[in-house]
Structure 1
Amino acid sequence: MSFNSDIILGALLVGTGANSVLYTVEVIQAFAGIVCHRDRFRVGDRKLCLCISLHNHSLGRFGVSAEPVLGKSFRSYWKKHNQTHIIEQPYPLYVFTTGVVAALVQSFLAVRYWLLSKNKFITLTLFLFITVAIGGAFASAVTLAIFPGYKDRETVLIPATTWLIAEAVTDISIASALLLEFWKARSSFREIRSLLHKLAAQTILTGTTGATIALAVLVAFLENNGTNGGFPGLPPSIPGSHIQVSTGIAYCLGRVYCITMLANLNRRKPRTWSSKCMYSGASPETRGEPGNHERSEGGDEYGGIRGFLVNIDTPREFSRGSLKTNPGQGLPYDSPAVEIEMTVNDSASYLSKKKQDLFAA
């Protein structure tokens, strides 16, 4: 039987190349987050990045099955599979590790939603979806390990379908829940409105990317069941030919989740804002020294807090660094004007609360 082996294994080659490109982006994001911004990352964030790195090392074993595609001829590689009809060992490992890293990323976003909304019902529902998804991935990996033959592919149909559908539903649910909270958090402050718009755009991109890839894998997996893999002229009797397209697309799933996590962490750029109280009078005895108080807090892109000048004609005497009233004084008209530069306290507290709610994770 003659057939074009390039068409059969082309999906694997394209998927491997896309996987390598995404891995490069992932390494850049990890370097920027852990090395360049290590002082901005909390211990929990670094531990989470370490878990993702371990996932990448485990996923590197998948190169064992991709090596024949890159290092040998397509025909000799397919000839070996046509003789053995056995799924290579890295397939179950890849499915399991992809499910684990997806659960880590989704849990991170669900925790951010909880810190923002404190909605127990929706949060528990999101974690239920996450549990179903990782359970489906684990069941698919175990089934592939127990039944490695291509002829037993039907046994993995139900757990694989459950896994991919749960992944897509979880991604869309988390994105929808976060968008709903961002829509509720309306504010009259321009900086907060701008930030909410950026967060909404990032949430849409985060949710739709993972869900789209998961649904693409599912459609390719179900559509090619027992067919010729969607390629005209390809005989349907070739063992495992219908798996190659879905496998090639699935190569990118774990990488996309890793990039999603690291991109969310790297966007948390702290900004320093200052609160100043300056007092000045006619003489050194009545002049308050400037008291500068700077505060740094981890958060995203909030603008600085603006201050204003208040000119007060007052009979009060000012001690160094504080305001004190002298009851014995009258109301002299020749008292100097005291310029007080102060920060809007209600704006500071409001913005601080928003920063803690949105970026506590």
Structure 2
Amino acid sequence: MAALSSIITVTGPLLVGSWVNSLLYSAELAQVIRYFTAYPDDEWLVKALVLLCWLIDTAAAIGSYAGVYLYTITHVGDMEYLSRQNWTFPFIVFTTGVVAALVQCFLVVRYMRFSRNVLFSLFLFLVIGLALSASFVAGVIVGRYPLYTDRGRLQTPAMLWIISQAVTDILIALALVLEFRKARSNFRNTQSVLNRLAVHTIQTGGATATVATAALVAYLVNKQSNVPLGIAYSMGRVYVLTMLSNLNSRKNIGRGIGAMSEGGATGTQFHAEGASGESGNLGGIHIHRSAVVTIDPENGPRIAMEALNASRHADKTRTENESDAASAESKVQDSVWASRT
């Protein structure tokens, strides 16, 4: 019975983790295909990052399958082999740490471009570096001390890795939500977009932090069980799906902004705090300053042209409220890019 219990403890969590891993990897593959199909004109750095994360995550998924195969097929019933952590354990730790760091750096760069808060962004980069270093230390310890009875040696680096990684996820999500809260609008559609951005940010940041925390709790409860690794099998997939979710949802937000513009609204009712964004095209979301007016359906073209001509000669007489309105509109659209890319 003791031998059977040991087999279940070692192989059961890994088998279940590989099933969940397969489901998430299928979703990830679909999102990768969708990204490269829908956004062929994205910056090459972004496309290279997506490809790199997917390749590393693919290697991690293969490693998880190899681990299950070695325990359940190749060395089934070999109690000496079952008492050790095979090579796939440190491999999963390394790949998961690298993928998490890449995705978090991607999100921090987008936050820094939007908020221009360099000091806080540097702090986030330091925490990411700490988590990555701790993950490598944990992987090295597993490789040097493969016995399950030696897992106590992992406690300090494992806790440092998971806690710093989860804290980074939460801080990034909270920082973006605070930026969204700074941008306020009296328009129902605009406020709806901001609310959706905030909810999406909390959901994605919360998902990665929850998976990491669950793996840590499982490790602290039973250090000789493979439940933590079974959970970690899916951690890399969750991070890559978070990044792809941000990238692939830009068109939906863009359509929402387009609908607001077509619906017509007076641009003097926007309010915002903080720096405004620059004009330009950032990966499919066009950032621009504009005056928006309510247009009569019958005389729309004429009124629109008159408004455009008037705006060209109104720079010297533009009021402070109108300037704040233009800054706020750019702030709202900047927030779309920061969350979605």
The TM-score, its normalising length taken from structure 1, stands at 0.72
Could you tell me how far apart the structure 2 residues matched to 1:101 and 1:136 are?
14
Residue deviations 1:199-233, cap 9 Å, x none?
101111011111111111101101103xxxxxxxx
**Aligned positions of 1:80-229 closer than 5 A:** 80-83=78-81, 85-225=83-223
Residue 355 (str. 1) matches residue 337 (str. 2): no
* Match in the other structure for 1:26: 28
- CA distance in 1 between partners of 2:128 and 2:9 (Å): 36
> Kindly tell me: are residues 83 and 296 of structure 1, through their superposed partners in 2, closer, same or farther at Cα, counting changes over 3 Å?
closer
Correspondent of 1:263 among 245, 262, 270: 245
User: Between the two proteins, what is the percent identity of the paired residues?
Assistant: 39
Q: Distance in 2 between matches of 1:339 and 1:53?
A: 51
Equivalent residue letter for 2:50 = C
Instruction: State the shift of 1:151 in Å.
Output: 3.1
SS in structure 2 at match of 1:186: strand
**TM superposition shift of 1:45:** 1.6
Residues 61 and 306 (structure 1 numbering): CA distance in 2 closer, same or farther, change over 3 Å? farther
Letter in 1 for 2:19: G
* Structure 2 Cα separation of the partners of residues 27 and 81 of structure 1: 36
Residue 110 of structure 1 deviates from its aligned partner by 1.2
Secondary structure at the aligned position of 2:185 is classed as: coil
Residues 49-88 of structure 1 correspond to what in structure 2 (within 5 A)? Answer: 49-59=50-60, 60-68=62-70, 72=73, 77=76, 79-83=77-81, 85-88=83-86
Q: Which runs of 5+ in 2 are unaligned?
A: 263-279, 287-291, 312-321
Between the aligned partners of 2:38 and 2:102, the Cα distance in structure 1 is 23
Cα separation, 1, equivalents of 2:182 and 2:92: 39
Q: 1:287 corresponds to which residue?
A: none
- The C-alpha deviation readout for 1:33-78, integer Å capped at 9, x for no partner, is 1123323x222221111111221232123321122466x39xx62x
- Paired residue secondary structure (1:341): helix
Deviation at 1:7, TM superposition (A): 5.8
Q: Which amino acid in 2 is paired with 1:90?
A: T
Match of residue 326 from structure 1: none
Give the partner amino acid of 2:304.
E
Contact 2:10–2:82 (CA under 8 A) maintained in structure 1: no
TM-score, structure 2 normalization: 0.76
Bigger relative contact order (CA 8 A; separation at least 6): 2
Name the CA distance, whole Å, in 2 between partners of 1:358 and 1:218.
Answer: 33
- Which amino acid in structure 1 is aligned with residue 104 of structure 2? Q
Q: CA deviation at 1:173?
A: 1.0
- Greater helix percent: which structure? 2
Question: In structure 2, what residue type is equivalent to 1:120?
Answer: V
Are 1:247 and 2:229 counterparts? yes
1:299 aligned partner: 285
Residue 304 of structure 2 aligns to a residue whose secondary structure is: strand
Q: Which residue of 1 aligns with 2:273?
A: none
> Are 1:220 and 1:246, in contact at CA under 8 Å, matched by a contact in 2?
yes
After TM superposition, the structure 1 stretch with the greater mean CA deviation from structure 2, 104-113 or 215-224, is 104-113
Q: 1:348 offset after TM fit, Å?
A: 7.2
- How far, CA to CA, are the matches of 2:210 and 2:194 in structure 1? 24
Is residue 8–residue 244 contact of structure 1 (8 Å, CA) maintained in 2?
A: yes
Larger Rg: 1
Match of 1:42 in 2: 43
Deviation of 1:153 (Å): 1.7
Structure-2 change in CA distance of 1:174 and 1:252 (3 Å)? same
Instruction: Give the AA of the match of 2:303.
Output: I
1:340 alignment partner, SS class: helix
CA-to-aligned-CA distance 1:127-166 (integer Å, 9 cap, x gap): 1211111111111112212222323222222111110111
- Counterpart contact for 2:17–2:230, Cα < 8 Å: yes
Separation of aligned partners in 2, 1:43 and 1:192: 31
Paired amino acid for 1:54: L
> How many Å separate the matches in 1 of 2:145 and 2:71?
23
Between 253-262 and 9-18, report the one with greater CA deviation. Answer: 9-18
Shifted more, 142-151 versus 204-213: the winner is 142-151
Amino acid across the alignment from 1:152: D
| Counterpart amino acid of residue 359 in structure 1 | W
Aligned match of 1:319: none
What is the aligned residue count?
A: 295
**Separation in 2, partners of 1:144, 1:126:** 27
CA-CA distance at 1:104 after TM superposition: 1.2
Q: Secondary structure at the match of 2:186?
A: coil
Q: Residue deviations 1:260-279, cap 9 Å, x none? A: 01000001114596999xxx
Give the SS at the match of 1:38. coil
Q: Determine the C-alpha separation between the residues in 2 that align with 1:69 and 1:2.
A: 14
